[in-house]
Structure 1
């Protein structure tokens, strides 16, 4: 059972989330957890992601869960497929249409519709480990709720290059001495609903499809830290990331997007988080080194 988060020390801003909305089945109590999946033109991989979440829910059936899947303006068969899944799903399933482009806008649409007390963000190219909910419940039953918590991200396909993963076996907390980017990955990020209400919605200038193309998750972590909210990585709560990047060209684009997002992050927060400048320098230096043929990834 999840313990309710303690009241924050400061009042929330105007961007706070409202109370959990009534779902399509109002006779059901609000679920313990909401999986929020954002997708755009990836119907081929979306099925595997949804099936993995459903399998995790069946494996831990006593822990009530729902799926909220946000279609971010897809032009393929995504809308039809989501309607079909919703009609047959034994787990509460809410398809959401968000035509405004951008991952941050899609995440916000998911936040507005999610009813769970714990919110779990999973990317559409990821598969959730069968024991994910068991691990999640254990961590959130510990009594400490006032934090953002992220889990292990394994490579889903050995043909993909080892980027956008995190394999550390150490449980750790984010500090200003560590660059927030990649400490907790947005493809496997969880928080109590009260934490999301305290931080507010994602900044829609950041993230894939937005003007700054990345870092909507990193911006969220920085905002959490500035509010005194802890950010924790745990070496379980595992997902498998099938990101599909297999050549230098794909990684170069990834670095360009990250550099733009990190630059915007520094400009936004430098007044209250000047330590970001140091991390931006080292991140840029590391990116140039990798593109010049140096270390290709974090071997942690």
Structure 2
């Protein structure tokens, strides 16, 4: 089941680049599904960052992942009034990984910037982006700071550390760089390949398509770096503890599948599972819970990790029993593309 194909930027981009002489410096890739109301603030923030730093050319690629609400109409309305180069892509196959792959294929920029549709970027984002890629090795996957967009939301799916860091085996890759604020040079994406379409929102494994990407980069010797700027504001809208616990179980499901997928090539991931299991046992006797701010239990992590591993094993067996050939992404075309 060919779910991790190499990305060939020269092949997939040339047809589009032929229409535009200058390749943009940055390609913002936003994947969306049924969030018509969130799109305008997200896109406006990207436009504002471009206006604030016009020396850096950028484009926006928006992938509609099978929306059933007013998203297509809203996207056409936004594109019609924007001064930014916007490419609208339809990817009907469910799953955030499939949408991200389509966005990569239709992008033209030297730097790929993945931003979620419920996020807004800081006005200085492009300035920070250029500084980091000009002053350091470009062979890196780099993520920036993620703040709450609304103070009334639960403090989850954010990263506020003020200290730059690089991923090591001693740190669990989940959340080290958040998928809502992840960047890389086009050549790095070509080395790592496509996102694994078994993972991510909209799939049976619910999450971890971004974490899987980080693990694969790490295995290739590509550094994974967090920087405390390149800031994104996340308007995730989850205000109840129940909503956070549900999302946390989904993340743990994906991470369990990740452990089994990389069991032979990245066995160090198992170490984090055992540490969590040990903490869960310690919790029975009054030990600390996961996340000092939210005080989440370790036990759902352990149980969902095991369930995720079992689910991944089932998907592998099922795919071998009934193999299907995926249509190459470069052969799928969007319903609408508009460049200005």
What is the TM-score with the length of structure 1 in the denominator? 0.90
CA contact (8 A) 1:70 1:109 kept: yes
Distance, in Å, in 2 between the alignment partners of 1:287 and 1:106 is 35
Deviation at 1:255, TM superposition (A): 1.7
Instruction: Name 1:48's counterpart in structure 2.
Output: 41
2:217 aligned with 1:217, yes or no?
A: no
The equivalent position to 1:164 in structure 2, one of 134, 150, 157, is 157
The number of equivalent residue pairs is 285
Deviation at 1:29, TM superposition (A): 1.1
Question: Cα deviation per residue 1:115-166 (whole Å; 9 max; x = unaligned)?
Answer: 0000000000000000000000000111410010000000110110000100
Unmatched runs of 5 consecutive residues or more in structure 1: 1-12
Distance, in Å, in 1 between the alignment partners of 2:114 and 2:250 is 21
2:219 aligned with 1:244, yes or no?
A: no
Unmatched runs of 5 consecutive residues or more in structure 2: 294-340
CA contact (8 A) 2:154 2:241 kept: no
Deviation at 1:167, TM superposition (A): 0.4
Question: Cα deviation per residue 1:163-218 (whole Å; 9 max; x = unaligned)?
Answer: 01000011110001100000000000000000000000000111100121000000
Alpha-carbon spacing, 1:273–1:111, altered in 2? closer, same or farther (3 Å) = same
The equivalent position to 1:34 in structure 2, one of 22, 27, 38, is 27
Instruction: Name 2:227's counterpart in structure 1.
Output: 234
Say what the alpha-carbon RMSD is for the aligned residues: 2.1
Distance, in Å, in 2 between the alignment partners of 1:94 and 1:30 is 14
Instruction: Name 2:320's counterpart in structure 1.
Output: none
SS at match of 2:73: helix
Rg larger for: 2
Instruction: Name 1:8's counterpart in structure 2.
Output: none
Distance, in Å, in 2 between the alignment partners of 1:157 and 1:179 is 27
CA contact (8 A) 1:171 1:235 kept: yes
The equivalent position to 1:297 in structure 2, one of 291, 300, 305, is 291
What is the TM-score with the length of structure 2 in the denominator? 0.80
Which structure is higher in helix share?
2
Deviation at 1:81, TM superposition (A): 1.3
Alpha-carbon spacing, 1:237–1:67, altered in 2? closer, same or farther (3 Å) = same
Question: Cα deviation per residue 1:45-102 (whole Å; 9 max; x = unaligned)?
Answer: 1110000000000000110000000000001111111112222221100010000001
* Runs of 4+ more than 3 Å apart: 21-25, 281-289, 292-299
Distance, in Å, in 2 between the alignment partners of 1:142 and 1:157 is 33
CA contact (8 A) 1:22 1:115 kept: no
The equivalent position to 2:61 in structure 1, one of 60, 68, 78, is 68
2:100 aligned with 1:103, yes or no?
A: no
Distance, in Å, in 1 between the alignment partners of 2:92 and 2:5 is 23
Distance, in Å, in 1 between the alignment partners of 2:205 and 2:83 is 38
CA contact (8 A) 2:142 2:184 kept: yes
